[in-house]
Amino acid sequence: MKKIKNSRVVICEAARPLVTPDQIKRIASVDYPSVSYAFPSVDTIFYKNRHLDRMSSFQLQLPQSFDRDMLLESHRNSIFRDSTSDTFLIQDYFGVKPRLILGGRNLFKVTYPGDIEYLDILEDLFCQKK
């Protein structure tokens, strides 16, 4: 990251292959230290023997966008090395909550072998809209 000259960093992952250029441009344009796509939780979440309120739960999605210097400092100095998301690092290190932008089904994360079939269906549906 030392060679990145821009003040913003957009992080994408290959596990979300249906992300669009417009989604990347949109999240890069938001001037806020931590920005993430999110999708409202549609499933009931059971955590530590209790149900979470799904009306206030979101699934974070990538791409995500960050202030370059804050992201670099949080990576250098954070004790939260096992964090699953850079939004956690920024929030835990600086106390900055992420700004959430409504994501989409096309930002589905391919995780398990069976997800490839689901991805094929989504790709067919998503590409038909264009």
Assigned token pair, 51: 């149900």
Rounded mean pLDDT, 29-46? 92
Q: What is the dihedral of CA 116, 118, 123, 126, to 10 degrees?
A: -160
Domain ranges of the chain: 8-128
Q: Is the model more confident about 83 or about 99?
A: 99
Q: What is the dihedral of CA 94, 100, 106, 110, to 10 degrees?
A: 30
Least trusted range by pLDDT, from 45-49, 77-81, 90-94, 95-99: 77-81
**Mind giving me the DSSP string for 6-69?**
SSEEEE--TT-TT--HHHHHHHHT--SSEEEEEEE--SPEEETTEEE-GGG-EEEEEEEEEEHH
Rounded mean pLDDT, 108-125? 84
Level-2 CATH architecture, domain 8-128: Alpha-Beta Complex (3.90)
Rounded mean pLDDT, 92-100? 94
Residue type at position 63: P
Residue 82 pLDDT exceeds 70: no
pLDDT in tens, 103-115: 998 898 999 988 8
Rounded CA-CA distance 18/68 in Å is 25
> Do 8 and 28 contact (CB within 8 A), yes or no?
yes
Q: What is the structure's pLDDT at 85?
A: 85
